[in-house]
Structure formats: structure tokens, C-alpha cells
Structure 1
Amino acid sequence: MAHSALIGAARRWARIPIAARIAVVYVVGRLITTGFLQLAAHLSGPGTRFGTDANIGSFVLGWDAQWYWLVAWGGYPSALPLTESGQVAENAWAFMPVYAYAAKVIGIPFGSWGAGALLISLVAGFFACLMLYRLLHQRIGSSAAMWAVTFFAWGPLAALFQVGYAEVLFVLLLLIALDLVARRRFAWVYPVVLVMAFTRPGILAFALYLGLYGILRWVRRRTDPLPARDVVHIVALGALATVTGFAWQVAAGLVTGDSGAYLATELSWRRNWGVGSEGFMPFDGWVQAAQFWFTQWGLPGWWGLIALILLVVGAGGALLFAPPVRRLGVDLRLWSASYLLYLLAVFFPQSSTFRLLMPLTPLWGAVAVPRSRVYRYGMLLLCLLGQWLWIYHVYALGNTFWQVP
């Protein structure tokens, strides 16, 4: 009887339109996240960033959300602030304008920037789930695609659907762009690229992806025709992504009169970790961090370099050879490789590393490929555990740059 009832429930669930099923999964996920955030607020103590009177509203406006709020109401500084030692201090130029100003406009009816920010994150998260399913279902099947959406909506970074960060909006735009490229609707990608470029850093990774995608299409042109119009679009989109990828640096330089304003601003955050004073060098952040973290743990710094090499080789091997990842298609693997290479080139890994992995959302499809129920429900429990641990550490306990989300 119980088995028959489960089969009947599964059949009724399968008859529900996919958008409605995704909505149910997403809403339940948001209720779970709300419960976790409420518990974190209850556990927040006097030594934390949010204090004993913390609530979900203070989390929505916490950490980097304060910078987006500052951009929305104060704009960007025309003179870079300096530390006592004369170095560029942390400032608003590290945060791009689309999310900040969109939240300001949407929040006007509510009289609150935070309400606008929360609505953008919530709505963008739901549509990102729809786009993730659309991107994956023909590649890995409807069931696996639905599980990928569930892992995404309930995963370790699910709190970002409910706080004032630009990540979810960027991921929505990214999934739209990847889907348009996959369907070869190139004319629609141009406006998406323009908005992505000023939402959060990462458009240069998309430029690299387009370059690799163009090479792939050229290599396969005998079996997969490459019309001249596709060549024009791919080159033009790659050029647009590249130009807009550097446009924010140019804007910061023009407004402040300092051509290195943006990079100096980004490096100001690294100085919290005792590095970044020598200027920016591609790939140097990971080398510095590999030695820094192992030294912090009382281990030789060169162990960190070995660990970094193993990490890079392991990630590359997984993207090239792991069967579940190969199921996603070459284009999504190229995006994943492009973004990982971008992070390797520009990022200093620290507590924000997990958040910066969110643009790798299509890889949830590879996680969802194995069909075992035990595996899938076990992975879902791990997602929820990871979500709670992330929320607990950055909101219930967060008090220094060691715990920035």
C-alpha cells in the first residue's frame, strides 16, 4: 500500500507543469533558508558583527550589501580614500552599479533599499532555477535536471537568494547567455552581456568562453556547419565582452584621475590578509594564498604550492574526463574551465571563495546525473548541511574579515 501510494504521488507530481514544480521546490527551499537565518539571528552573540539584536533584516543588509547600499545612495568617490599608510582603502569602486541602482528603484514603493535588494535576489533566484532546468534537461534528462535545480535552490549558497548580494542576478544573466549561445540565438546575447558586465566581475571569463566556443565551432565546422553570420556574432560578442570587461577599470580611472584605481581598490581587500601591497599580478593571488594558508596552519609554505598544483590538475581532469561532467556538453565544460581560469588569474582565495563559485551553477547538472535515490537524497542532505554551516559561520559567528561571505 505504501509503495503504491508513493508511486501514485510521484505520478501526480510528474503531471504538474515543470514551472510549478520548480516553484514548489524553490519556495520550500526559501522557507528552509529563512528558518536557518532565523536560527542564526538567535545564535548571534555580542561579539559578532550583527550583535544580540540580529534579525533576518540585518542579514539582508549585512556584509557587502552595505557597499551596494552605499553605491545606491552615495555613488562612487571621485577621490580614492587612503589608509594612514597612504595606500588605497576599501571603497565603493569594487562594487558594480546594476544591482545597487536596480534595488534602489525597486525599493522605492517600499521605502527601503533592502526590500528592493531582497526582491531582486528572490525573483532572480526563481528565474535562475527555471533557466538552469531549461539549460540542462535536454542534456541530462528531465529528472536529473530537476534534481540539479533542487541542489541549486537548497544548496550551500542558498542564503544568497535572500540577501543583498549581486551573485544571483549575475547567475540568472549568465544562464540566459549560455542558453542563448547553445541555441545560437546570438543577437539576443548582446544586451545580456552589457548588463552582466556591470552587475559583478566575471564578464572576462565569458569573453574567454566565447573565444574557446568559437575555436570549437571552427574545429567542428565539417560536421557542424559554421555560417559566416555565426562567425561575425561570436567575434563581435567576444570583443564586446572583452571591452566591457575592462570598461569599469577605465570608468574608475576617469572619475578618480588614477588609472589604477580599480585594481588598487580590489587589492585593498587583500591587505586584510597581509598580502597585495606589491600590485596586481595575474595568478599571483593563488600562489600567495597557497603559501599563506599552509603557514597559518603551521605547515611549510611549499606544501601549499603542491596542494595548488594538485587542485588545478584535479579540477582540469574532472572537467575533461569525469563522465557526469562530460554529460553536460562541451560548451558548459568550456564555460566552467573559463571561469575557473579567471578565478585562478584574479582571485585571492579566502572566506569568499565559496560565494565566488556560484557562476559554476551549471555543474550541479553533473552532481545530479547519478540516478541512485540514496545518492540523491544523501546529496540533498549534504546541501542543507553545507547551507547551515555557511549561514552559521558568516552570519551567526561572523565578526571579522576571516568570515566574510
Structure 2
Amino acid sequence: MSLTEEQKTSDPAPASGGDSLWRTAGAWRGVGIAFGVYVVTRIAQLAMVVWLDHSTPHAGGLRGRLLVWDAGWFLKVATTGYPHGYTEDMAGQLQGNELAFFPGYPMLIKLFAFVGFDPRTAAIGVSWVASAGAAIGLYLLGTSLYNRRTGYALAALCMTAPVSIVFSMAYSEGVFLAFVAGMLVAAHRRVWWAAGLLGLAAALTRPTGAAAALALAVAALMEVARIRRERDASIWPPIAAAAVALAGVPSFLIWVGNRVGDPTAWFRIQAAGWGTSFDYGTSTVNFLNTTLTLGDGWVPISVALILIVAAVAAVIALIGKPWLPLAVYGVVAMGLVYGQAGFYHSKPRLLVPVLLTLLPAAIAAGRARPRVAVLSIAAWAVFGLWYGAYLVAVWPYTI
């Protein structure tokens, strides 16, 4: 690697953001290639879903496959709103309900439906548009932190990761990742008003928005230290951005608590409906131990291997000393995934927006010969796209 490239990976973010990054990223051509990566991967994976789907016509075909499981909850929030209290079954047992789901994605569905789209079409459309934005955001992030080739690799690796099928489904991962990638780019380029708004949007889209908000807080602290050292700007824009983003997750949890009349309502609903609680990784360790010693299904075993490989990749990424806010976001987000109890087969999906696990491969692809990088990513893509398509079209359980 040349001295110029080494400097680019370690130098602080430039004081002026948008225009210089736009030129560095190749303007419309560079962004267009990133968008093309998104389009090609989505078409390939949807084709695999159709190929693997042997269900009856009554199952709803491809469209039905994209609207299963959590999609129904998001649609209920978008069309009927949130309930005013707990939901119980006939025996009086607490059940999960719509209050478990953050409002960012359903609000966008409602907006699209308001202008005339069918809610189901709106749900898929929002996910597709947001996922395209996520691919572009990842390209810009990789370019800002490293170089254009790393940016392309980061976008391609994420869009073809195992369970990247959620970027085509009526799920919130695409919306969340678009906000997170945009927030990190804005923070790295010191565009604090945008970073704050995008951080707040991420925090109102998924619980792991708390990890994104903490990352922005770290970026703000780094900027405040720089400003006090160089005395070239006001410290208030980064502080305000961090404060806005940090308010997101607590605000929704408090709102749910006030609506139900129980400050722990969100956590109780999560536990009742999906078995989700934070047990500091005990259930994850037990799952890995049981699956790798007694497991007889290939999907559980593959999930266990994905969790192990992702953890190793994250350690490798941290050894390489990435930009600190990105590292903080990745570590906290992974801690939330590995530290909680819940459906084991949802964990690979929850890892998709973490980014830290993809960083070593993206950096290596950015430094490798183009042919080696393309062939390596293509091999990864074949498996990742097929794996996600299989889980939706063949495997009968939720992801």
C-alpha cells in the first residue's frame, strides 16, 4: 500500500464534507456503480427465491414471501397504529404486540400509503428504496474512511451477506442501515446537523439505534477535543448532534411505558412475544455448545458457524484499529445481538447491519488485485444470496 493510501486510512476527516467526498467518490458514476451493485444483487436473490419456492399458489408467491413474519407487525403499526396497553390471551397470559416495534419504518410505510400506494406495496417499496440508499451510503462510508475500492467492496459484501434477503423484504434493516451509514458518513465529514438527524432516525427505527447514537457521541467527543485543541469552530454542533441521537431510543421506550402505564412495558412485551431479554450471552453460549455438540439440523449448525465467524471477523477488524466511532457502533451492536436471549435463527439477520464483521474482508478486497477481489466477492455472494433465499423460500421458520 502506498504512503498516500496509508495516510488516507488514518488521517482525520476533512473539515468540509460533501463536495470533497462527492468528487473522491467519483460523483454520479461512482454512486451509480454502487446502485448497480444493489440492483444486481436484489435481482439475483429474488430469482433464487422464485427458483426455490415450491409452495402452492395460495402462499402468495414471491410477493407473499416478502411480506411474512415481522412484516405483518410493521404493517399493523402502519395501518392501525399502536395499541394502548398489553395484549393477553384467553388464559390471561401476556402476549407480544405492536408496541415491540419501533416507529421509523412503519411511519415511512404510512407516508407512502398516504399518497396512494397499497400498504403492502408501500412496505416493500420503502424497504427497496432504503436498501438502495444503504448500498450507496456504505460505498460513501468505505470511500470516506479508506478508498473507492473498499467502498464498493463494503457495499457488495453487505448486500450479499447471509440473510441479506431482508433488504428485499418488508423488514426494517434496510431503512436502519441507510440511516446508520448516512450518519457515520456525515459524522466523518463533520456535517453535524445531518449526523444528528440521521442518528435520531436510526434510533427510532430499531433498538440497536442506541449503538449508533453512542457511536455518534464518540465522534462528537473526538470533534470537541479537536476543536479545543485547534480552536477553529464551535463545539456546540457536534454536542447537539449527539444529544439528539441519544434521545431517540429512550424517548420511544418512555413513550411505550407511558402509553401502557408501566415503565418496563417494552421489555415485558419483547420477552412475552419473542423471548427476548438480555442475559449477557448465556443463551448464545448455550446455543453454540448444544448445536455444535448435539445439533442435527444444518441450518442451526450454519447459524452457529456464522456467529463464530462474525465474532472472529470483528476481533480482526478491531486489531486493525478502525475509525473509533465505527468500532464503538460495531462492538455495542454485536453485544446486543450476542448478549440477548431470543430466537437463535434471527441472530444472523440482526448481524447484517453491524458492518464491523465485514470490514476486514472489505479492506482486503480494496487492497487486492481487482480480479482476485471480484472473484472472492462473487464466491461470497453466491453462498450469501442462496442462503437467504433458502431461508425464505424453503425453511419454515421466521428469520
Q: Does TM-score exceed 0.5, indicating one fold?
A: yes
| SS of corresponding position for 1:200 | coil
Could you say which residue in structure 2 is the equivalent of 1:385?
A: 383
Change (3 A) 1:98 1:216: closer
CA distance in 1, matches of 2:232, 2:347: 40
Answer yes or no: is 1:23 the counterpart of 2:39.
no
Answer yes or no: is 1:289 the counterpart of 2:284.
yes
Task: Verify the 8 A CA contact 1:217 1:226 in the aligned structure 2.
Answer: no
Q: How does 1:3-402 map to 2 (within 5 A)?
A: 17-41=29-53, 43-44=54-55, 53-83=59-89, 86-108=92-114, 111-214=117-220, 216=222, 225=230, 229-230=234-235, 232-271=236-275, 280=277, 282=278, 284=279, 286-292=281-287, 294-295=289-290, 314=312, 317-321=315-319, 323=320, 326=321, 328-346=322-340, 348=342, 350-361=344-355, 364-370=358-364, 371-372=368-369, 373-374=371-372, 376-398=374-396
Q: How far did residue 347 of structure 1 move?
A: 5.4
Could you tell me the TM-score, scaled by structure 1's length?
0.77
| SS of corresponding position for 2:86 | coil
The amino acid that maps onto 1:288 is S
Could you say which residue in structure 1 is the equivalent of 2:299?
A: none
| SS of corresponding position for 1:386 | helix
Q: How far did residue 227 of structure 1 move?
A: 5.9
Which moves more between the two structures, 331-340 or 196-205? 331-340
Could you tell me the TM-score, scaled by structure 2's length?
0.78
Superposed CA offset, 1:291-320 (max 9, x none): 255346666xxxxxxx9xx99985663233
Q: How far did residue 182 of structure 1 move?
A: 0.6
Superposed CA offset, 1:239-290 (max 9, x none): 333332111121112112222211001112444xxxx6xxx5x4x1521332
* Root-mean-square deviation over aligned CA pairs: 3.3
The amino acid that maps onto 2:352 is M
Q: Any unmatched runs of 5+ in structure 2?
A: 1-25, 295-304
Task: Verify the 8 A CA contact 1:289 1:349 in the aligned structure 2.
Answer: no
Q: How many residues align?
A: 360
Task: Verify the 8 A CA contact 1:286 1:348 in the aligned structure 2.
Answer: no
CA distance in 1, matches of 2:230, 2:27: 38
Task: Verify the 8 A CA contact 2:105 2:205 in the aligned structure 1.
Answer: yes
Change (3 A) 1:234 1:23: closer
| SS of corresponding position for 1:352 | helix
CA distance in 2, matches of 1:131, 1:312: 22
Task: Verify the 8 A CA contact 1:132 1:175 in the aligned structure 2.
Answer: yes
Task: Verify the 8 A CA contact 2:216 2:242 in the aligned structure 1.
Answer: yes
Q: How far did residue 65 of structure 1 move?
A: 0.3
Change (3 A) 1:98 1:270: closer
CA distance in 1, matches of 2:336, 2:162: 22
Superposed CA offset, 1:195-245 (max 9, x none): 2222221222123223433555567778x7476733x34443333333321
The amino acid that maps onto 1:356 is L
Change (3 A) 1:216 1:342: farther
Superposed CA offset, 1:39-67 (max 9, x none): 232x337xxxxx86441110121110000
CA distance in 2, matches of 1:292, 1:169: 29
Task: Verify the 8 A CA contact 1:181 1:189 in the aligned structure 2.
Answer: yes
Q: How far did residue 112 of structure 1 move?
A: 1.4
Q: How far did residue 37 of structure 1 move?
A: 1.7
CA distance in 1, matches of 2:233, 2:147: 32
